[in-house]
Chains A and B, each alone.
Chain A
Amino acid sequence: MAKLKISNKRRKAVIGVAFVSPWIVGFLIFTLYPMLYSLFLSFHQVKITPVGVKTKYVGFDNFNYAFFSDPVFVEKLLNYLMEMVLNVPVIIVFSLIIALLINQKIKFRGMFRTIFFLPVIITSGPVINELLSQGASSIPNIEQYGMFTLIESSLSPILAEPILYLFKQIIMVLWFSGVQILIFLAGLQKVDRSMYEAARIDGASPWESFWKVTLPVLMPLVIVNVIYTIVYVSTFALNEIILLIKNNMFSTITGFGYATAIAWIYFIIIMLMLALWTGVLRMKKR
């Protein structure tokens, strides 16, 4: 009997591996190996010649250069960090609110859902490129309507600064929240309706039942969305650091070795960012 059980277990494992194997092969060849190879290159000076790639070991030179000699890298990295700290919660809260709104029983619900899912095709295409180059991602007119000076004069600078920043970023935030809204919407439909009724009978207001019923169910999805948002914003092709990496790739002074070194620093920072955010959220959950 015991023997049969083991072999059964093994058989299941074999099927499991069979299911993942096409993915593993593709992943190893076209993603993992190139990633590791780029790590190798980041410790080298790389020259691309018609005969092939020539490498010369330089130790941590590339990394030192990034932090101590590169005129723009550190500044752009700090900008990026500030952007992430401000934008991630805004995108998450915004997409949660939109998901709650379009989950209501209202007319044209289907149409609204389609419209708010639109960013998926806007931000990942040539469209965004065109839009950004035309400066359409900020609202130029609010600055002229005196709203900015109003906010600046009526609030303390500590409060005014982030609010102004958010106004400038609002369109970008809207455009980055398509998939997140969808994920929340799927989660909201999972919430058992009888739980709301029970909460209502116990005298909970909609506000309370949001915090006590809806949010706990959505919590795992908040983490999924945080990961998705960080990844999406960080690896977005027109992100400043990505552009910097791209510029260095074929630069005659720094070259591909240096570009991969920045890419790895950036990669590690994104990982830390992610660990930080998910850590905070998991702590809250307890």
Chain B
Amino acid sequence: MSYQGTKVNPSKFHTSQLKFYAVLIPLAFFMMLPIVFIISHAFKPIDELFAFPPRFLVQQPTFDNFRDLFVTTSTSGIPFSRFIFNSLLVTVSVMFLSVFISALAAYAMAKMKFKLRKAMFEINTLALMFVPIAVQIPRYLVVDQTGLLDTYFAHILPLLAMPIGLFLLKQFIDQVPEELKEAAIMDGASEFTVFRKVIVPVIKPALATVAILAFQAVWNNIETSNYYVNDESLKTLSFFMSSVASGSGNTIAGQGMSAAASLLMFVPNLVIFILLQSKVMNTMAHSGLK
């Protein structure tokens, strides 16, 4: 990155950029396609949804899918706002708690010395590789035995231990120079103060990344509603949306509603992403990770 900075002649500097654009712009275009597709798909009228071969862009946009979805949701027994509340509560708690718990554990495993810390991290890495759905039934038994069935905790607790979060955070904390911590300890800071005042600001990009991943995992999760919660009024928005689309009996209208529902469910993903990613990118340059 330093080469361009050392060049003096600005016009030469400009043409040297062209080759980067030649590669980056087409690729960036590819990256945007899924999002264009998901938006365009939601506005397709029925005949375009089922067109073969499938068309990428909508030709005659219509709000029918959204209207159908709205009509169906307003006729269900439980008010729509209830599902939104459930989802918000569950998502916010999991995001904050899992990031906090993983960061604390990652800090301890990277920068503190105690028995078994290496072994713990290895076990975590192994757990990463395990197929998540294979633990579904044993997990159900745990949730059942601990009496968490039909509570909000059934949505929250199983998702808190996030192996991938711990994995990424520890890798980032490993890169933080030991001197930063030593200096703070010299000044009389406790381990928790070091964590809060030194480590957290430095690894903000990683925290934001893990927060995005955690949000994805919770917000889109329909398994907890499916398996651990029988009480309709405790289920989450994502479950409700998927059941509206598939359970309406009419599969043709269901396709349209499901396209509209996935767009609506996707918008918060995009918003969270845009809000957090600026943190990811901006802080990285000043993070002291040198």
User: Given the known A-B contacts A101-B24, A106-B20, A136-B37, are A130 and B131 also in contact in the complex, defined by CB atoms under 8 Å?
Assistant: no
Of the candidates B134, B137, B213, which one forms a contact with A124 in the assembled complex, judged by CB atoms under 8 Å apart? B213
Whether B133 sits at the interface, judged by CB under 8 Å, is yes
User: Given the known A-B contacts A19-B112, A26-B101, are A31 and B2 also in contact in the complex, defined by CB atoms under 8 Å?
Assistant: no
Give every chain B residue within 8 A of A12 (Cβ-Cβ).
Answer: 112-114, 191
User: Given the known A-B contacts A107-B17, A112-B24, are A29 and B112 also in contact in the complex, defined by CB atoms under 8 Å?
Assistant: no
Whether A65 sits at the interface, judged by CB under 8 Å, is no
Shortest distance from the beta carbon of B254 to any chain A beta carbon, whole Å = 13
Whether A78 sits at the interface, judged by CB under 8 Å, is no
Question: How far, in angstroms, from A171 to B123 measured CA to CA in the complex?
Answer: 33
Of the candidates B160, B163, B262, which one forms a contact with A130 in the assembled complex, judged by CB atoms under 8 Å apart? B262
Shortest distance from the beta carbon of A133 to any chain B beta carbon, whole Å = 10
Contact between B114 and A121 (Cβ–Cβ < 8 Å)?
no
Shortest distance from the beta carbon of B87 to any chain A beta carbon, whole Å = 14
Give every chain A residue within 8 A of B104 (Cβ-Cβ).
Answer: 19-20, 22-23
User: Given the known A-B contacts A101-B20, A117-B280, A227-B125, are A263 and B134 also in contact in the complex, defined by CB atoms under 8 Å?
Assistant: yes
Does more than half of chain A's interface fall in helix, strand or loop, or is it mixed?
Answer: helix
Contact between A263 and B124 (Cβ–Cβ < 8 Å)?
no
Question: How far, in angstroms, from A19 to B242 measured CA to CA in the complex?
Answer: 38
Give every chain B residue within 8 A of A241 (Cβ-Cβ).
Answer: 131
Give every chain B residue within 8 A of A168 (Cβ-Cβ).
Answer: none
Shortest distance from the beta carbon of A247 to any chain B beta carbon, whole Å = 11
Contact between B131 and A245 (Cβ–Cβ < 8 Å)?
yes
Does more than half of chain B's interface fall in helix, strand or loop, or is it mixed?
Answer: helix
Question: How far, in angstroms, from A274 to B130 measured CA to CA in the complex?
Answer: 13
Whether A13 sits at the interface, judged by CB under 8 Å, is yes
User: Given the known A-B contacts A38-B138, A267-B130, are A106 and B262 also in contact in the complex, defined by CB atoms under 8 Å?
Assistant: no
Of the candidates A33, A35, A103, A114, which one forms a contact with B130 in the assembled complex, judged by CB atoms under 8 Å apart? A35
Interface residues on B, range: 35 or more
| CB closest chain-B residue, reference A126 | B262
Shortest distance from the beta carbon of B136 to any chain A beta carbon, whole Å = 8
Contact with A along B92-134 (1 / 0, CB 8 A): 0000000001101101110011110100100111111111111
Give every chain B residue within 8 A of A256 (Cβ-Cβ).
Answer: 137
Whether B166 sits at the interface, judged by CB under 8 Å, is yes
| CB closest chain-B residue, reference A109 | B281
Of the candidates B163, B168, B171, which one forms a contact with A31 in the assembled complex, judged by CB atoms under 8 Å apart? B163
Give every chain A residue within 8 A of B168 (Cβ-Cβ).
Answer: 179, 183, 228
| CB closest chain-A residue, reference B121 | A20
Shortest distance from the beta carbon of A263 to any chain B beta carbon, whole Å = 3
Within 8 A of A (CB), among B4-42: 4-6, 17, 20-21, 23-24, 27-28, 30-35, 37-38, 41
B-contacting 9-mer, from A81-89, A150-158, A187-195: A187-195
Whether B175 sits at the interface, judged by CB under 8 Å, is yes
In addition to A20-B108, A125-B220, A230-B129, 8 A-B residue pairs with Cβ atoms within 8 Å of each other are A19-B191, A27-B163, A31-B130, A35-B127, A37-B135, A124-B216, A134-B41, A263-B131
Which A-B residue pairs are the 7 nearest by beta carbons?
Answer: A263-B134, A34-B138, A23-B105, A19-B108, A26-B161, A34-B135, A16-B114
Give residues in B with beta carbon < 8 Å to A: 1-6, 17, 20-21, 23-24, 27-28, 30-35, 37-38, 41, 53-54, 56, 101-102, 104-105, 107-109, 112-115, 117, 120, 123-139, 141-142, 146, 157-158, 160-161, 163-164, 166-168, 171-172, 175, 191, 195, 205-206, 209, 212-213, 216-217, 220, 238, 242, 259, 262, 265-266, 269-270, 273-274, 277, 280-281, 284-285, 287, 289-290
Can you identify 19 A-B contacts, CB atoms within 8 angstroms?
Answer: A13-B115, A20-B105, A32-B123, A38-B134, A101-B20, A101-B23, A102-B24, A104-B4, A121-B273, A125-B220, A127-B266, A131-B38, A186-B175, A186-B206, A228-B167, A235-B128, A245-B131, A267-B131, A271-B126
